[in-house]
Amino acid sequence: MQKEKRHQEVALSSKIKALIFDLDGVITQTASVHARAWREMFEKYNDHRKKKGQGSFTPYQGQEDYLEHIDGKPRYDGVRGFLQSRGIQLPEGEPEDEPGYDTVCALGNLKNEIFQGLLREEGFRTYQAAVNKIREFRKEGFKTAIISASKNCRLILEEAGIASLFDVRVDGLTAGSLGLEGKPAPDIFLEAARRLKVHPDEAAIFEDALAGVAAGKSGKFGQVIGLARSNEPARLREEGADAVIHSFEELRSYYHSFEELPSAIGQFETIQEKLPDGEPLLFLDYDGTLTPIVSQPEDANLSEEMKQLLRQAAEGAKVAVVSGRDKRDVEQRVGLEALYYAGSHGFEVSGPGGLHFEYEKGKEVLPVLDEAEETLKRELGMIEGVKVERKRYAIAVHYRNVAEERAEEVKQKAEKVLERYPRLKKGLGKKIVEFKPKLDWHKGKAVHWLVNKLQEGRDGRCPVYIGDDITDEDAFEQVRQENGIGILVGDHGELTQAQYRLADVDEVKTFLRKMLKNDTS
């Protein structure tokens, strides 16, 4: 069976403050309507020339002609570009020309008349993934602008009910009134950046047209992201796209490298200002955050100093430990009844007052995990240093103690086993391959559930999540959406959505002491 092709996720650069989106083909599915209107207009023009004895031209070739001569350009530039490709010259005319065949403007106006008729008759759809992502970006504080060569931009936005998603609109009407050149000139994008009050290198451009990508690149924008809806990714990159996505679902915001993150200790006053009065919500991973990473998972014991800090923190805050370990295991290791515990990456949660939650759909996968556990032990048990650790809702294959030359073999064999169990998915960690239920549940979902439970009817809580592993990225993303703070402990080797960093467990202790106001240094 052929494997489904997965596209690599693309992250916004950390310097980006504003986002500028093209309309047709990026936000709305009107590019195909435009293409049909262009075809119909040029077919009518060809028939007109035949009747007038002016000689016909090579018919409009659809996608090929649209992408080469028209896509992303102002209407009259598209007309002119196509006619030039057929060796035809017409007077320019005036924008007020009646729809017809005698001037460039008349032909352009005929195309617009046909386009508007198609919209009235058939309507159009938006790319919902794009709309959802823009809403997320706006919640995160990004400024947004919409640009379009079309003079119908405002009408389309209002018909789609998405006009409020954009702080600025720069369209064909704006370009005409200001005398802005069309794509591939960057004028329309630069005007949008000016109105958003950001420098071009602080803005990201989203374009599906080759001319638009070229315009973004020539304008020296901070990031030019191509949408491979109609153009091949390679063509978009050739025109200057820094990255290419096939859907907005592949786009993630605010990824940083560990080195780019400011220190949570150095920026403690800034963090403190974000924390509301009353009880903060504090979430912490266990391994690598509360205890150092050790070669044998069973040796990761909580120090008395850290335990005392957690005990004190729980006196003035809601404190939860969120771990990939089984809930019972992490409960016993921490041993504090005042804390909340989320085990198996959030599939099971408990806390004071009899609080208990277990993700019901996960129970259906338990027999599959039982079978996969036995298979892994049989297939990998002979490799020295491998440890297959069963948790209630996951299986961890540890290869930290495997000889370096055999580590890749362990990963490959584990992935071969995974292929036999379509109800399971792979999770990655530090020297670990994990088998998890293929369900939409993870640490971030558990954090969201706990935040709702612990809000106690009050808004304005600012959750703080401290973790060290790739598995904590879902939680970092969630606390961002909760207007909270993510702090990465050590470098897990990938880009992160955390906003701050701590070097190691010792710095976690220092941070907690500052939260407790026991250390004012």
Active-site hit among 24, 71, 97, 472: 24
- Confidence (pLDDT) at 313: 94
- Confidence (pLDDT) at 518: 47
- Confidence (pLDDT) at 278: 65
- Confidence (pLDDT) at 519: 47
- The strand pair at 10-11 and 251-252 is best described as parallel
CATH of residue 417 = 3.30.70.1020
Structural domain that includes position 61: 31-122
Distance, CA of 189 to CA of 195 (rounded, Å): 10
- Confidence (pLDDT) at 3: 35
426, part of any domain: yes
- Confidence (pLDDT) at 2: 37
Are residues 267 and 341 located together in one domain of the fold?
Answer: yes
Are residues 288 and 319 located together in one domain of the fold?
Answer: yes
Question: Domain boundary residue among 408, 437, 466?
Answer: 437
**Total structural domains within the chain:** 4
Coil, helix or strand for 362?
Answer: helix
- Confidence (pLDDT) at 457: 58
Question: Domain boundary residue among 389, 410, 437?
Answer: 437
- Confidence (pLDDT) at 255: 67
CB atoms inside a 10 Å sphere around CB 47? 12
CB atoms inside a 10 Å sphere around CB 103? 18
Distance, CA of 496 to CA of 166 (rounded, Å): 27
Sign of torsion, CA 486 320 265 290?
Answer: negative
207, part of any domain: yes
Q: What is the DSSP letter of 55?
A: -
- Confidence (pLDDT) at 359: 93
Question: Domain boundary residue among 252, 276, 299?
Answer: 252
- Confidence (pLDDT) at 361: 93
Distance, CA of 500 to CA of 35 (rounded, Å): 47
Question: What pTM, to 2 d.p., does this model score?
Answer: 0.56
Active site residue 491: no
CATH of residue 204 = 3.40.50.1000
Distance, CA of 493 to CA of 477 (rounded, Å): 17
Element (H, E) at 187: helix 187-196
- pLDDT lower than 70: segments of the chain: 1-9, 14, 31, 72, 253-255, 277-278, 456-460, 518-521
Are residues 130 and 222 located together in one domain of the fold?
Answer: yes
Return the amino acid letter for 119.
L
The per-residue pLDDT for range 370-394, each reduced to its tens digit, is 999 999 999 998 899 999 999 889 9
Active site residue 22: yes
Helix (H) and strand (E) counts for the chain? 19, 20
